[in-house]
């Protein structure tokens, strides 16, 4: 039940006929997951938290850097100076403007081994990731469990989004049967406009609101893309599953099974992530161990170790991001040398 205080907070949204008082009550009882809290993810989290979605689970493997601040709207210079994990920083910022909802931070990489525990119990999954490997993993999980999700991406001045309603619309594997081949543009190579990010995330957030308040008849059933600089816009019909689709048609889920899962080079940085297994570490103890070998700094959430020309960011679960290389073999070697195997 929405209280008088909540009514006042959301009064302008309740006045909108598409939401109304009943829709606002539905939002308050809703639970969503946002996978990735970078550019698109931070806008999604901010908009949906301000709209009053009652429970938001934020899953992100990364930490805040100065280069994020141009487009990642939930973070500030203090977060970047402290290398705060994005999920933790996001929860703190959201609590400052809406303390009446529940926001769970998970500083983790979404993998086949943890996807069930991280996504179960949610009604909609929103994509704030930066790579197709994770998106195909989400798609496998969503289709297998008949769980709606919203694909969203932005790079340069381009943005794209797709609603996936398993069994009703095309899924990601229907539209892209295999991961795009060759060199893909990233925010490192093509740059990115914060306005393109905000537009893509705003459209996706609106689609999530439609679903959560029960306005499913208004959900868009196309792959929508646009270029805010070139003034281009396109839509591809995606209103039904593709016959023969691996996920929708054959009910095969290779990404969920972990087949061929590679090391992932992170968007926007010359980095490789090591995420092979959960291995709880004492960051204070590790800091002392590493101190003779380079510069080290740690908090309860993250440890940073510098040994030229590399920078190693270590998380309490044993996951690490090695900056200064895109070669997984070099990253593995550095991890083994300084963290151990």
Return d(Cα 52, Cα 25) in angstroms, integer. 9
| Closest by CA position to 294, among listed 338, 324, 329 | 338
**DSSP-assigned beta bridge partners for residue 5:** none
Question: What does the pLDDT average to over 122-144?
Answer: 95
pLDDT of 251 reads: 95
Question: What does the pLDDT average to over 199-209?
Answer: 98
Taking CA atoms, 207 is separated from 21, 61, 314, in Å, by: 19, 25, 36
Q: Would 4-237 and 271-338 be classified into the same CATH topology? A: no
pLDDT of 266 reads: 65
Residue 57: pLDDT over 80: yes
Q: Could you read off the pLDDT of 271-310 as tens digits, one per residue?
A: 888 875 567 888 999 999 899 989 999 998 999 999 999 9
CATH of domain 4-237: 3.40.50.720
Question: What does the pLDDT average to over 188-206?
Answer: 92
CATH domain 271-338 topology? TATA-Binding Protein (3.30.310)
Q: Could you read off the pLDDT of 230-264 as tens digits, one per residue?
A: 999 999 999 999 999 999 999 999 999 987 665 56
Return d(Cα 31, Cα 119) in angstroms, integer. 10
Domain boundaries, the chain: 4-237, 271-338
Residue environment code for 134-160, b if the CB has 16+ CB neighbours within 10 A, otherwise e: bbbbbbbbbbeeebbbbbbbbbbbbbb
What strand order describes the sheet that includes 271-274? Answer: 271-274, 320-323, 310-314, 303-307, 295-298
Kind of pairing between the strands at 149-155 and 158-164? antiparallel
Give the contacts of 260 (CB within 8 A, at least 6 positions apart): 254
Which pLDDT band holds residue 330 (cuts at 50, 70, 90)?
Answer: confident
pLDDT of 25 reads: 97
pTM: 0.86
Question: What does the pLDDT average to over 37-59?
Answer: 97
């Amino acid at each position: 039940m929405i209280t008088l205080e909540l009514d006042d907070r959301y009064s302008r949204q309740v006045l909108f006929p598409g939401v109304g008082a009943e829709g606002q009550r539905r939002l308050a009882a809703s639970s969503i997951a946002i996978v990735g809290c970078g550019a698109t993810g931070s806008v999604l989290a901010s908009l949906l938290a301000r709209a009053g979605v009652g429970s938001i689970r934020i899953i992100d493997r990364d930490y805040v850097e100065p280069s994020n601040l141009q487009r990642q709207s939930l973070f500030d210079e203090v977060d970047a100076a402290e290398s705060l994990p994005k999920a933790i920083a996001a929860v703190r910022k959201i609590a400052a403007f809406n303390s009446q909802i529940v926001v769970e931070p998970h500083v983790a990489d979404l993998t086949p081994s943890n996807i069930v525990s991280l996504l179960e119990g949610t009604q909609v999954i929103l994509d704030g990731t930066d790579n197709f490997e994770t998106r195909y993993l989400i798609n496998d999980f969503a289709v297998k469990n008949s769980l709606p999700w919203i694909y969203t991406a932005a790079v340069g001045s381009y943005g794209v989004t797709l609603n996936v309603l398993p069994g009703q619309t095309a899924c990601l594997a229907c539209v892209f049967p295999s991961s795009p081949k060759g060199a893909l543009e990233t925010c490192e190579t093509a740059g990115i406009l914060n306005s393109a990010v905000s537009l893509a995330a705003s459209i996706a957030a609106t689609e999530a609101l439609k679903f959560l308040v029960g306005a499913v008849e208004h959900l868009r059933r196309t792959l929508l893309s646009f270029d805010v600089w070139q003034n281009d816009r396109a839509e591809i019909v995606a209103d039904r599953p593709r016959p023969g689709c691996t996920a929708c048609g054959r009910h095969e889920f290779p990404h969920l099974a972990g087949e061929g899962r590679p090391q992932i080079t992170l968007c926007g940085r010359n980095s490789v992530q090591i995420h092979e297994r959960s291995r709880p570490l004492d960051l204070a103890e590790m800091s002392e161990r590493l101190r003779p070998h380079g510069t080290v700094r740690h908090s309860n959430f993250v440890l940073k170790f510098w040994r030229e020309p590399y920078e190693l960011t270590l998380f309490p679960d044993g996951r690490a991001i090695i900056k200064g290389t895109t070669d997984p073999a070099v990253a593995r070697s550095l991890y083994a040398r300084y963290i151990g195997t």
